Structure 1
Amino acid sequence: MRLSPSLFFTTNCEPALTFYEQCGLGRGTILLRWGDNDMPLRTEAMRGKVLHARFEGPGVLFHASDNDDAEPMKGSALMLEFDDLTAMRGLFNRMGEAGRITVPLARQVWGTRFGMLVDAFGVQWMFNCPNE
């Protein structure tokens, strides 16, 4: 068994996936669009938006799609665990540029380097590294 979260966007899934790829998180490996090649179409406004995407990187796997009834992400975050503090800082800074840092990267009372941010697409991310 493996947990593979699915991120729901209203209409900006593709720009979010492009952003994650540019940040170095991984790359999209599957992209299906609403209304293309006999794919279903709920509303004409969704034509060409992302019906289903798979995004993969080292230790990263999630799915994503555009859904006109999607709600902002609440009550959860995606946790990225690192062995390399420099790599974590780099990704944290890139992903936080257009977003909002909610917990700056710092050594926490439990002994690890940890930080949180909400990216420009409303997805909450947690970063953790036990190594110095």
Structure 2
Amino acid sequence: MKISTYLTFGGQAREAFAFYQQALGGTLELFSFGQAPDAEQFPAEYHDRVMHVCLSLGEYRLMASDTLPGEFCGGAPYEGIKGCSISLHPDSVAEGERLFAALSEGGQVVMPMEKTFWAERFGMFTDRFGVSWMVNCETP
């Protein structure tokens, strides 16, 4: 079994995933609501929003979509991404520091990259799209 992370955005999925691909690499696959076979059921102003995006990084996937108006989503308004973090485990401290710098650009650093008792380097931040990340460079 594999577990993948699936994020929900309020209209920024396309921009966020272009940013993530630039920092992480990988292959991007994206479909908008306007590309759906039944696109006419969605409000025209939402046709450019992302119905599904997948960033493939080897055997791992980071996926997401944008929200639609409340009547399409059980009536609940979008409240942002809460209560979880994406945790990266790079193979080297240099790669960890590169990823931390790239992905935290324009965001808010919660804990700078530093040595901890469990890792050679560890850091946390919230990116410019409101997604929480951790970078953990384990002790060799």
| Fold match (TM-score > 0.5) | yes
CA separation in 2, counterparts of 1:24 and 1:36?
26
Asked if the contact 2:122/2:135 (under 8 Å) is kept, the reply is: yes
Q: Offset of 1:35 from its aligned partner?
A: 2.3
Residue of structure 2 in register with 1:80 after alignment: 88
Q: Offset of 1:100 from its aligned partner?
A: 0.6
Q: Offset of 1:43 from its aligned partner?
A: 2.8
User: Cα gap change, 1:39/1:19 in structure 2, threshold over 3 Å: closer, same or farther?
Assistant: farther
Q: Offset of 1:7 from its aligned partner?
A: 0.8
* Structure having the larger proportion of residues in helix: 2
User: Which ranges of structure 2 fall in alignment gaps of 5 or more residues?
Assistant: 69-76
Residue of structure 2 in register with 1:16 after alignment: 16
| Percent of aligned positions that are identical | 30
Question: Secondary structure of 1:88's partner?
Answer: helix
CA separation in 1, counterparts of 2:132 and 2:56?
18
Q: 1:119 aligns with which of 127, 131, 134?
A: 127
Q: Give the superposed CA RMSD.
A: 1.8
TM-score by length of 1: 0.88
Q: 2:100 aligns with which of 92, 97, 104?
A: 92
TM-score by length of 2: 0.83
CA separation in 2, counterparts of 1:20 and 1:71?
21
User: Is 1:47 the counterpart of 2:55 in the alignment?
Assistant: no
Answer with 1 or 2: which has the greater Rg.
Answer: 2
